[in-house]
Amino acid sequence: MKISPSKIISLLFFIFSGFYLYTAHQIHVFTFDENAAFNAKTFPIYLGYAGLIFSALYVVLPETRPSNVDLTVLDYKKTITLVILMILYGLTILRVGYFLSTSIFLVLSYIVLGERKWLWIFLLSFPFVAMFMYLLHGLLNIYLRDPFLQYIGVMG
Amino acid sequence: MIEGILIGLETAFSLKNLMMVMIGCFAGTIIGMLPGLGPMTAIALMIPITYGFEPSTGLILMAGVYYGAVFGGSTSSILINAPGIPGTVATSFDGYPMAQQGKAGKALAIAAYSSFAGGTIAAIFLLIAAPSLSKVSLAFRSPDYFGLMILGLTAVSAFSAKGHFLKAMMMVVLGLMLASVGQDTLSDIPRFTFQNMNLSDGISFVLVVMATFAMSEALTIIFKANDPTRVAKQISLSQLGSIKLDKNETKKMVTTIPRSSVLGFIIGVLPGAGSTIASFLAYGMERNFVNDEEKQKFGKGSVNGLAAPETANNAACSGSFVPLLTLGIPGSGTTAVMLGALLGFGIQPGPRLYQTNPEIFWSVIMSMYIGMVILLILNLPLIPYIARVLATPRSFLIPLILFFSVTGIYLMSFNNFDIYMMIGIAVVATVLRLYDFPMPPLILAFVLGGLMEENLRRSLLISDGSWSFLWDRPLTIVIMLTIFFIVGWQIYKSFFKKN
């Protein structure tokens, strides 16, 4: 028996709703609120049941308009690489600093997406980020943590 | 009302706000022109920029972006047959054939004039309708609001689902679930935080919008091999032809614009319908109104066929502000994003906004009109140059969108946790989009989650835990019956209607 991806997603949502409902029941409310008509867990409990009902209906009922996705034409390599680059960007943005991590993220992303115009790659990374930082930090007074620029003495 | 209009004019005509409308229209046009990026993404990208602004200035900027994005969407529809937003799909039916006939400049001019006229007429309707509706909506009680929110969510799901109503309803529930994370507003009891301090304040609205729209759209463009920008070479973007219209073309537009404006505005006011439905309905209606000779031209470069959807989608944009400003309930995904931004500014839209913050209420309405004028006088002559944005390689575009998204959330929280959460939500949203799980219902639900719980709390406490509040008042009954009608219609459409 072949099950469609949409039904698998709905099944996962059913499990998620079940977990959500269980967690909603675990919310500790004040003793005097326990039997109130509405307390902190009332709405989440309703939501949990709604999630279970809608996802169960989707799994059980026949699909009238199945989503046809040709998985062979999807570009997994570039997408996954970009996601990994974003995770690394998130990891380094506080430790290394905004300027270097953002510039390197942009350079690598351009290259991953097949760009080879090196002048544009350079212009739209280091100078672009420097200008953007000046706009935020210099003109709009928005604090940007940057240990690297502080270390080399560019930023106070 | 006159006093309010004057306050609005004074606020909207300040140098700073005029600049904001201009920047907004310009930025919106460029973003809206890029296939895949619509007004929601454009507004989402603007939210971090508006943090330091006064609420009226921030809203004026976003309103400008909204109109600019709708106009930009028409440009890509006409020039490369790749509608930037669903609301401009109908524009491509006659706009693109016209461009193929070497009349791209003319098509863009018709789109610009129609947008201007549609937006202007609708802004006048809004001017008249909004204050009266504000007074009427003061009669609404918590059960009515709760019912209206369910109605809004059901309607948006019904219209945006394209036959996948249950999927849209799952997205509604997911949006409400995400909104429930964090401390309970009344009792401060932590919910779904799993003892993580980063979750105690809940999930940021900007984070969810950026992840589900800007970031997820960027990832989807890369993920899907069939990129619509590949057809960009079909029309020369540097030779668009004359933008002057002859007498006959003007005459055709004069008859089309008023009826499409009225239709667009009414559709825009209805929760969930929005500019997409308005433009398709206007296109269909116009086809029935014209003579047989003109009817034959539909789909082959008809002036009426282009003017009607363009007028209607802009009129619908203005119309969609009516429920937002008067009831505090957004009728579309885009106005939901704007509601989130308003709440971020500490402003609660609703019937009292008209009295408590008249400068915001009126300046937004006034800036809509100014936005229309600016779009016409600024964008039309610049179109040949702006159109070159369409040639921007996605290898540069996508990383820049991702960079703006991450920066937006980083500037808000200065922690890695939010960035990781945004990436996680964006990846999940990308997969969900792939299988037609719509995102607008999720955003609308996320924005309305807190308000919905609050109104349900009040209603249940007043009725001592009984759900009878849903049928105690005639107004609530009408709202509930409308919800049942929408749900029933969706069930009928899904399982019983063959075509």
Residue B24's DSSP bridge partners are: none
Run of H or E including A6: helix A5-26
Q: Are B210 and B408 in contact (CB under 8 A)?
A: yes
Run of H or E including A5: helix A5-26
Q: Which residues of B touch A23 (CB under 8 A)?
A: 192
| Pairwise CB contact (< 8 Å): B457 & A38 | yes
Q: Are B36 and B230 in contact (CB under 8 A)?
A: no
**How does residue B234 score in pLDDT terms, banded at 50, 70 and 90?**
very low
Q: Which of A109, A142, A143 to mutate to test the interface with B (most CBs of B within 10 A)?
A: A109
| Pairwise CB contact (< 8 Å): A37 & B411 | no
Over residues B369-375, the mean pLDDT reads 80
Residues 216 through 245 of chain B touching chain A, CB cutoff 8 Å: 219, 222-226
Over residues A104-117, the mean pLDDT reads 94
Q: What is the pLDDT of residue B379?
A: 66
Shortest distance between the Cα of A99 and any Cα of chain B, in A, equals: 11
What is the number of residues in chain B?
499
In Å, what is the CA distance from B388 to each residue of B3, B27, B230, B364, B382?
44, 14, 14, 31, 10
Q: pLDDT tens digit string along B377-399?
A: 876 777 777 667 666 788 898 89
Verdict on whether the full-model pTM lies above 0.80: no
Residues 243 through 282 of chain B touching chain A, CB cutoff 8 Å: none
Q: pLDDT tens digit string along B89-123?
A: 778 888 888 887 878 888 888 988 898 888 888 88
Predicted confidence (pLDDT) at residue B232 exceeds the cutoff of 50:
no
**How does residue A71 score in pLDDT terms, banded at 50, 70 and 90?**
confident
| Pairwise CB contact (< 8 Å): A91 & B436 | no
Q: Are B260 and B122 in contact (CB under 8 A)?
A: no
- Domain boundaries in chain B? 2-495
- Residue B75's nearest CA partner among B116, B40, B34 is B34
Q: What is the 3-class SS of chain B, one letter each residue?
A: CHHHHHHHHHHHCCHHHHHHHHHHHHHHHHHHHCCCCCHHHHHHHHHHHHCCCCHHHHHHHHHHHHHHHHHHHHHHHHHHCCCCCHHHHHHHHHHHHHHHCCCHHHHHHHHHHHHHHHHHHHHHHHHHHHHHHHHHHCCCCHHHHHHHHHHHHHHHHHHHCCCCHHHHHHHHHHHHHHHCCEECCCCCCEECCCCCHHHCCCCCHHHHHHHHHHHHHHHHHHHCCCCHHHHHHHCCCCCCCCCCCCHHHHHHHHHHHHHHHHHHHHHHHCCCCHHHHHHHHHHHHHHHHCCHHHHHHCCCCCHHHHHHHHHHHHHHHHHCHHHHHHHCCCCCHHHHHHHHHHHHCCCCCCCCHHHHCHHHHHHHHHHHHHHHHHHHHHHHHHHHHHHHHHHCCHHHHHHHHHHHHHHHHHHHHCCHHHHHHHHHHHHHHHHHHHCCCCCHHHHHHHHHHHHHHHHHHHHHHHCCCCCCHHHHCHHHHHHHHHHHHHHHHHHHHHHCCCC
Of the candidates B191, B411, B452, the beta carbon closest to that of A40 is on B191
Angle at B378 between CA B373 and CA B384, to 5 degrees: 135
| Pairwise CB contact (< 8 Å): A20 & B177 | yes
How many inter-chain contacts (A to B, CB under 8 Å) are there? 172
Q: pLDDT tens digit string along B63-80?
A: 888 888 888 878 877 876
ipTM: 0.94
| Pairwise CB contact (< 8 Å): A44 & B191 | yes
**How does residue B231 score in pLDDT terms, banded at 50, 70 and 90?**
very low
Any residues with CB less than 8 A from the CB of B106 and at least 6 apart, and which? Answer: B98, B241, B242, B243, B244, B245, B249
| Pairwise CB contact (< 8 Å): B170 & A51 | yes
- Residue B286's nearest CA partner among B303, B269, B267, B266 is B303
Over residues B3-27, the mean pLDDT reads 82
Of the candidates B52, B170, B453, the beta carbon closest to that of A58 is on B170
Amino acid identity, position A156: G
Q: Which residues of A touch B431 (CB under 8 A)?
A: 9
- Residue A126's nearest CA partner among A118, A136, A116 is A118
| Pairwise CB contact (< 8 Å): B398 & A113 | yes
Burial class (CB in 10 A: 0-12, 13-18, 19+), A142: middle
Of the candidates B180, B189, B414, the beta carbon closest to that of A43 is on B180
| Pairwise CB contact (< 8 Å): A83 & B414 | no
| Pairwise CB contact (< 8 Å): A124 & B407 | no
Q: What is the dihedral of CA B455, B176, B156, B338, to 10 degrees?
A: 80
The number of angstroms, rounded, from the C-alpha of A10 to the middle of its chain's C-alpha atoms is: 20
Q: Which of B191, B467, B490 to mutate to test the interface with A (most CBs of A within 10 A)?
A: B191
Q: pLDDT tens digit string along B159-172?
A: 666 678 899 999 99
Q: What is the pLDDT of residue A10?
A: 96
Q: Which residues of B touch A13 (CB under 8 A)?
A: 170, 174
On average, the pLDDT of chain B sits at 81
Q: Which residues of A touch B401 (CB under 8 A)?
A: none
Most confident of A43-47, B99-103, B151-155: A43-47
Q: pLDDT tens digit string along B272-282?
A: 656 777 887 78
Q: Which of A84, A113, A137 to mutate to test the interface with B (most CBs of B within 10 A)?
A: A113
Amino acid identity, position B1: M
Predicted confidence (pLDDT) at residue B225 exceeds the cutoff of 70:
no
For A3, phi then psi, to 5°, come to -110, 135
Any residues with CB less than 8 A from the CB of A147 and at least 6 apart, and which? Answer: A95, A96, A97
Q: What is the dihedral of CA A137, A143, A145, A147, to 10 degrees?
A: 60
Q: Which of A11, A41, A43 to mutate to test the interface with B (most CBs of B within 10 A)?
A: A43
Predicted confidence (pLDDT) at residue A120 exceeds the cutoff of 90:
yes
Q: pLDDT tens digit string along B337-365?
A: 888 888 877 777 777 777 777 777 777 77
Q: What is the pLDDT of residue B460?
A: 92
